[in-house]
A and B are shown apart, each in its own frame.
Chain A
Amino acid sequence: MGEQLIIAVSREFGSGGHAVAQLLSERYNIPLYDSNLLEDIANQKNLDAQALGRYDEKSKASFFTRSVRGFSTSPEENLAWMQFKYLKGMADEGKSFVIVGRCAEEVLKDNPNLVTVFVLGNMENKIHRIMERYQTTRDKAAKLIEQQDKKRKSYHNTYCQGKWGDSRNYDLCINSRLGVDKTTDIIAHFIDSERA
């Protein structure tokens, strides 16, 4: 593994995967990209980031879309391809970064400096985290987790050969039940061992 470091973090909703990604970004002093990836693209191309955000990480509608020779009418699909292209561009330029979601484990799989992680969590822990974050009831939190994971799975599996959450697609799959800090430490230990 060379100087470049790309950490692709996929996560279940409520698992704390995003917080883990944030800590990894701080630990290695490299930028973190999630929904702000769009802002980056928008700034570079002089586009409206807010308008683009409506289609971010969403699976395409089944009806009223059509594909011709690999081109699709779905704004969601086209935005996804635009982000994939941008990610590949950054990786090819040798940049280091942490990327949350956006099928990065598959989009960047040819990069030798990529580490892919899937963060999952116990249902109970996830519900508590979501109840706290959104100040909501237990039932609503459980429903939200189910809905969001379904959306993430559908988005991911639309563009990737490997299935979302399938351990064979990631270098490391980790349950965050030890807490965000310890989970980050374990991932960092894995990364450091590989880079040593």
Chain B
Amino acid sequence: MMIAKILALTIFIVMFVLIITDKIEKCLVTLCCGLATAVLVFGLSMHSMSAFTQTLNVRSIFTLGFWYEAGSSSESTSGVNWATIIFLAGMMVMVEGMAKAGFFRWLCMTIAKLVKYKVIPIFLTFMVMSFVLAMFIDSITVILFLAAVTVELAQLLKFNPVPIILSEIFCANLGGSATMCGDPPNIIIGTSLGYSFADFVTNTGLIAVISLVVIVAYFYLCFRKEFGKAGTDVDISKMPSPKSAITDKKAFAISTVIFLIAVALLITHAQTGLTVAFIGTFIAIITLATSGKNAKAILKGVDYKTLLFFIGLFFVVGGLEQTGILEIFAQFIGKVSGGNIMVMIAIIIWVSAIASAFIDNIPFAATMIPVIKTLSATTGADLSVLAWTLAMGTDIGGSATPIGASANVVGTSIASREGYPVTWGKYCKVAVPATIIVILISMVSIYVRYL
């Protein structure tokens, strides 16, 4: 068993190093490491077919509980989290349909028009829009469109788009922390530990909204002088019309309705009993069924590499779980904290935040879930409190650096490609204090509310 432990940990470390160096496609890294876990850890070291099938976890898909849960949900399965993968795939199909119809560009242009193309109001409303959209849609898509429109408006209104893009990125990550479907770590936490959309909204959501108020004020104070008199002498009639963003009116109307259905299903999933896997599948089916000949193009636009990345990742983490390494880590945290929940929360939130600032927060969250489960079982700490702590730490920590979260990479890249390079220094100067502020708000909120 010792050899299995060493191998599982080695594979895990190799996977992380390869992800950080960014030389090999991430999905290839996790899939190869997943395969190595299957062969070296489960096969050659453990000789355990059951460890392999448990981690592969395909059987769970064919159970009723995977699609529909009467009463409270309890999807505490280990191994590959198929619910997360299926849900993400479904949402990707929906978002692809919305993007093709011009929904996001239309929304950004409409809001810019509503505030009469004034730079400071655009700055403030785009932050809030970024937060709200990221609650339901992956932050990459949100930033992809928001940053592109910001650059377009910057060129028309002659202002530097970087402050607005940096603020949008931060608010997208913050919005993602507010709901179960906003950020991949939350989906993994929710599906692995059996929490609902409403659980997230009433816990991490509340912290996120309080943080948003503070953060909007923070970014306003940081950047208010940057814009000067930009946009004051612009002929509004010459600005692009929001309607021009709509590529297909019918597809636009349908994709908007599907989006609203998805939001309604997610908000009510604890009441209806429909799991996120069901919602993802249903949304994907209706998107494809209503998109006619565009269905093929929509399917082509799905980010399969991310889905494969998840499968490999869950397998490698499954190796750590099956060999008991994560239990050892949990016991270590328990010992360091002396069983004191306040210390435990502080350790989890700060370690998660600092780690997520430099490494992908998805593998980190996936690794930490079994750890907090063990921690809760062995120390008696409330699992939900640890889950909200982990969610806020991983979701917000990623905002601190340009490489911490996918939205940061996409946003800074869009700005750079238009001639506004964003260096580490420029990014961190505003993002690190903002991250510390939100982590402190989260920690204090958790202490005050749950202890």
Contact = CB atoms under 8 A, between A and B. Distances in A.
Interface of A: 41-42, 45-47, 51-52, 55, 62-69, 71-73, 75, 78-79, 81-82, 85
Given A47-B420, A67-B409, 17 more contacts: A41-B419, A42-B419, A62-B21, A62-B22, A66-B402, A66-B403, A71-B414, A72-B409, A73-B413, A75-B421, A78-B413, A79-B416, A81-B417, A82-B416, A82-B418, A82-B419, A85-B417
Contacts of B421: 51-52, 55, 75, 78-79
A42 B23 CA distance: 31
A68 B409 contact: yes
A52 B419 contact: yes
Q: Is the interface of A mostly helix, strand, loop or mixed?
A: mixed
5 contacts: A45-B419, A64-B403, A82-B416, A82-B417, A82-B419
Contacts of A47: 419-420
Contacts of A46: 155, 158
A127 to B, nearest CB: 34
A52 B23 CA distance: 25
Contact of B22 (A42, A51, A67): A67
Contacts of B22: 62, 65-67
A49 to B, nearest CB: 9
A63 B422 contact: no
Contacts of A73: 402-403, 408-409, 412-413, 422
Interface-centre pick from A52, A55, A65 (highest chain B CB count, 10 A):
A65
B418 A72 contact: no
B140 A69 contact: yes
A79 B424 CA distance: 15
Contacts of A63: 20-21
A172 to B, nearest CB: 32
B301 to A, nearest CB: 11
Contacts of B412: 73
A45 B403 contact: no
Interface in B383-418: 402-403, 406, 408-410, 412-414, 416-418
B125 to A, nearest CB: 24
A156 B143 CA distance: 30
Contacts of B158: 46
Contacts of A52: 419, 421
A42 B420 CA distance: 10
Contacts of B140: 68-69
B155 to A, nearest CB: 7
Given A46-B158, A64-B424, A72 B413 contact: yes
B10 interface: no
B303 interface: yes
Given A46-B158, A63-B21, A68 B410 contact: yes
B202 interface: no
Interface in B126-172: 140, 155, 158
A69 B141 CA distance: 11
Nearest to B411: A71
B38 to A, nearest CB: 27
Nearest to A55: B421
Nearest to A51: B421
Contacts of A81: 417
Contacts of B417: 78, 81-82, 85
B409 A75 contact: no
Contacts of A71: 409-410, 413-414
B340 interface: no
Given A63-B21, A75-B416, A69 B408 contact: no
Contacts of B414: 71
Contacts of A64: 403, 424
B409 A66 contact: yes
Contacts of B23: 62
Nearest to A70: B413
B157 to A, nearest CB: 12
B423 interface: yes
4 A-B pairs with the lowest CB-CB distances in the bound complex, closest first:
A78-B416, A71-B413, A75-B421, A66-B403
Interface string B417-448: 11111111000000000000000000000000
Interface in B300-319: 303
A29 to B, nearest CB: 29
A100 B233 CA distance: 40
A47 B158 CA distance: 10
Contacts of B422: 73, 75
Nearest to B143: A71
Given A62-B21, A64-B424, A45 B409 contact: no
A47 B23 CA distance: 31
Contacts of A62: 21-23
A132 to B, nearest CB: 35
A67 B402 CA distance: 11
Contacts of A72: 409, 413
B20 A45 contact: no
A88 to B, nearest CB: 13
A138 B23 CA distance: 37
Interface in B94-134: none
